Chains A and B, each alone.
With several copies, the nearest count.
Chain A
Amino acid sequence: MTLPVLKAADFASTQEVRWCPGCGDYSILAQMKKVLPELGVPREKIVFISGIGCSSRFPYYMNTYGMHSIHGRAPTFATGLKSTRPDLMVWVITGDGDALSIGGNHFIHMLRRNLDINVVLFNNRIYGLTKGQYSPTSSEGQITKSTPMGAIDHPLSPLSVALGAEATFVARSIDAYVTHLGETLRRAAEHKGTSLVEVYQNCNVFNDGAMAYAQEKSQRADNVIELEHGKPLIFGKDRDKGIRLVGSHLEVVSLADTAIDDLLIHDERAANPSIQMMLARMRYPEMPEPIGVLRAVAGVPTYDDQINHQVELAKAKHGIGDLQALVSGGDTWVVK
């Protein structure tokens, strides 16, 4: 039996999409609908699990199984589901507040366990749904409803946190850069283990243009560097700049006076994430910000495989459990 060929539209649920007009979320939704049919996984085998936030409305719009859970906890539901149903393709949809503020702990633990799930973190550097408070990724000094004199927390980078938590797949893309986004989602889906994709997402109501330097086509080439495995790090509208590793830090060089061979070659498969960590720490405006796959390490056992493997091992070793034998075992006596 061949599977019916699905189109993007087949992945649309009947629910009206209720994001603000112009919100970056639309583009991510569109790319997801576009990529999923290419993966050949039947819709009923796919589950989207989200927390709470504008971004977390996502599952309602997908004609798959879905759960719009509670704030910050999506990874926990996904963990229970994937551990018991490894046959399903599980996506976690989360926001910068959902994943890194209230949900930071689950986020780390999901990554270190390396469940075979995919996580898309919509980073708009603001709390959208609650109308504009700063988030853990908001810039220092950012004026928001809750920080009229400027935010004083030092921001977290989702990618750094993920690398610190031993994530096996870490990537970044941009809502408006649709081809790149689609490709990055596809890569995430294909990775075995927890895949994290941070997506720069414009909240045009509460934080409009915060990442315009990366989102707007005119600025992107100079402010963003696209990583490709095995390729030197080159960027710029005229592809005339590059990144070089000097001692223990990275610097921008002009290709006018540096040979391509001297540039850093991107290695997404490096077991040691030190260089990937340096990349994650490149921040605009000092440095171009990396997009694409920073890290994709294969072969690390996944939690779902392992938990189920232990069950199989135990069955093989002790035989399939016999309830009557269990309750009847040990020291017993008979009353007549």
Chain B
Amino acid sequence: MTKILSESGNGKNIHTVSGITVRLCGDSGDGMQLLGTQLTNTSALAGNDVATFPDFPAEIRAPRGTRAGVSGFQVQFASEEIFTPGDLLDALVVMNPAAMVTNLGDLRKGGILIANEDGFNDKEFKLAKVDSNPLEADVIEQSYRLFKVPMTKLTRDAVSELGLSNKESERCKNFFAMGLVYWLFGRSLEPTLRFIDDKFGKKLPDVARANAAALQAGWSYGETTEAFGLSYQVEAAPLSPGTYRNIMGNQALAWGLVAASSLSGKELFYSTYPITPASDVLHELTRYKNFGVRTFQAEDEIAACGAAIGAAFGGGMGVTASSGPGIALKGEAMGLGVMLELPMIVINVQRGGPSTGLPTKTEQSDLLQAMFGRNGEAPLPILAPQSPGDCFAIAIEAWRIAVECMTPVMILSDGYIANGSEPWKIPDMTQHPRINVVHPDGADPEEPFMPYARDENLARPWAIPGTPGLMHRVGGLEKEDRTGNISYDPANHQHMVDTRARKIDEIADRIPPQEVLGHDSGDILIVSWGGTYGACHTAVRRCQKAGISVSHAHLRYLNPLPSNLGDLLSAFKTVVVPELNTGQLRMLLRAKYLVDCAGFNKVQGKPFSVHELIDEIKAQAEALQNEAVHHRAG
């Protein structure tokens, strides 16, 4: 509700605001993720900029009613460009006491608290481990705009004519809540009605009707009871012209791979072993068999990586994905990929570590594993998407680099990006630059084939089985320059180690220089990577508006680093590297550029909030000022 832009409209009491951050929480079984997704899509269709943050328990069905069982979905929709799902909540919907006590802390003072009154009873208090009804606490009424709605009962009433069982009726209460939320924020019911019809219309017409009725009942409740008095409106955001859709990170990654496949004329072989939060890429890709996509659910991560390399040896587009622990297992095979110099993409959708860690939470703590998690000197390029939609572009770029340099490429996504969503401008793929792939055809019978000869990118030829005259053998032992035969020669080993390193380093000459938000010199530079983009961007923009000399460089290329980065770092008095780890990028920057970067680190399974970054930037600005004063005084 960042700003109230106008109050009331045609007779009704409607505030037009620039943005709303709302979180919907209930028990895992209450359908909160569905509710959130619908609200997001509807808002996106209304032309808002949106950003989401789903947050659900690790358990498939955590015990009902408990704090551990709470499932939440946060969405920010706005009439201006936004980059995060928001920090403090303008509105919080809670279906039970557990949801309330675990989420209330994020509701801003004066925010709207909507509670399903029917979910607040002794049984639930016990499950949630609260002594008394938290809704009754004086402080609640004083601090928030509380609306207690008997949703379960009202839903039951609304669908009573449809002959559903009690249990089935109650199941619809999330749609009632949805209707009410839609009314509150002036959302159209249309897209959700369409969704209900698509999903249940044919198979379960009764359920479809009940859900629709509940949705409408919720809306009417808001419209008629006047309990709320006031509703809100968020105008369309001034996004750049084009056709948009809402997209989730893992979906965008999957689509990007399909696109890269199409752009390069290579069929995609996606080989993986399920693991949270990467599995959805598999679920998505396996639906695109008609694009020539073959998905292979291997027996483990090692097999998945091996199969991707096998496919690449045959001339296919080999892609393998996992999360931290699974990537650890792939290390040896990735090293072989480096030695064989075959194109391949390895995706790590990072989660909280170490070990099994916090599987459903986000973290950025696998960067150094990506850099160094293999024996010997085995460098490979590393890219990181900065937002859900960016996954699409990163996948294509990774594939381009992989074939251009004949190398495995690593993509570091994370749980926050993977499950988050944002509006995405649909690209015109017919205009997209194609990816050029050449397989030598063995024309020259005079010259013996040199599988480890190199082109201007230091890439070796991608000669594939089936090509007469180019039969050759590859392997993990060090190989002789050009011929690829096994070689134990000391000078050759040095040459090959150096060449493999140089091949990756020189990519820096062919990627775009690092862009900066703000001036390219000044007091403070924020350097970030991956999923923290939105929060850092927003914080820097706000601080810039507040007059602080701060700029933002967000890295999408982590290895090699952009060639202008060193100069950039030294053009600022203070460099701060915020990361959801203990300082991994920071270490790489310090080592490479000898710049005394400060870290701003958080390892809590949660993304940064904008305000904690703003606080940090302000603190750094103040420190600089004090220093300056001190200097002048000194």
Contacts and interface: CB of A to CB of B under 8 A. Distances in A.
Pair from one complex: yes
A78 B470 contact: no
Contact of A64 (B289, B471, B477): B471
Nearest to B326: A71
Contacts of B333: 70, 73, 76
A83 B468 contact: no
B296 A65 contact: no
B529 interface: no
Taking chain A's interface residues, is the majority helix, strand, or loop, or is none over half, making it mixed? mixed
Nearest to B245: A332
A48 B477 CA distance: 16
Interface string B464-508: 011111111111110000000110000000000000000000000
Interface in A102-119: 102, 104-106, 109
Given A73-B306, A80-B307, A311 B292 contact: yes
B311 A131 contact: no
Interface stretch (B278-286, B544-552, B570-578): B278-286
Given A47-B465, A321-B290, A67 B340 contact: yes
Contacts of B340: 67
B336 A70 contact: yes
Contacts of B47: 333, 335
B426 interface: yes
A47 B471 CA distance: 9
A145 B292 contact: no
A333 to B, nearest CB: 5
B430 A68 contact: no
B291 interface: yes
A60 interface: yes
A146 B311 contact: no
Interface string A137-163: 000000001111100000000000000
A102 B328 CA distance: 14
Interface in A1-50: 13, 15-21, 42-49
A127 B240 CA distance: 43
B44 interface: yes
B308 A335 contact: no
Given A68-B475, A87-B466, A331-B41, A314 B289 contact: yes
A332 B243 contact: yes
Contacts, number: 288
B302 A76 contact: yes
A14 B6 CA distance: 55
A130 B294 contact: no
A307 interface: yes
B259 interface: yes
A249 interface: no
B273 to A, nearest CB: 7
A275 interface: no
Interface string A195-224: 000000000011000000000000000000
B590 interface: no
Query: Chain A, interface size: which category?
Result: 35 or more
B64 A21 contact: yes
B473 A127 contact: no
Contacts of A127: 274
Contacts of B292: 311, 315, 321
Interface string B48-80: 000000000001111110101000000000000
Contacts of B609: none
A81 interface: yes
A253 to B, nearest CB: 39
Contacts of B66: 16
A244 to B, nearest CB: 37
Interface string B266-309: 01010101111001001100111111111111111111111111
Given A307-B294, A311-B289, A85 B465 contact: yes
A101 to B, nearest CB: 5
A60 B474 CA distance: 8
B218 interface: no
B80 to A, nearest CB: 13
A54 B60 contact: yes
Nearest to A108: B299
Interface string B226-244: 0000000000101111111
Interface stretch (B91-99, B314-322, B520-528): B314-322
A128 interface: yes
Contacts of A63: 471
A129 B60 contact: yes
B347 to A, nearest CB: 16
B426 to A, nearest CB: 5
B310 A323 contact: no
- Which 10 pairs of residues, A with B, have the shortest CB-CB distance? A76-B306, A80-B310, A68-B475, A321-B291, A80-B307, A20-B61, A314-B289, A77-B310, A66-B473, A81-B310
Interface of A: 13, 15-21, 42-49, 52, 54, 59-60, 62-73, 75-85, 87-88, 101-102, 104-106, 109, 127-131, 133-134, 136, 145-149, 205-206, 307-308, 310-311, 313-315, 317-321, 323-324, 326-328, 330-336
Given A131-B276, A149-B289, 13 more contacts: A18-B62, A49-B310, A69-B309, A76-B310, A79-B310, A80-B309, A81-B465, A104-B299, A106-B306, A109-B298, A206-B60, A324-B430, A331-B45
9 contacts: A21-B61, A59-B473, A67-B313, A80-B310, A127-B274, A136-B299, A313-B289, A323-B258, A327-B427
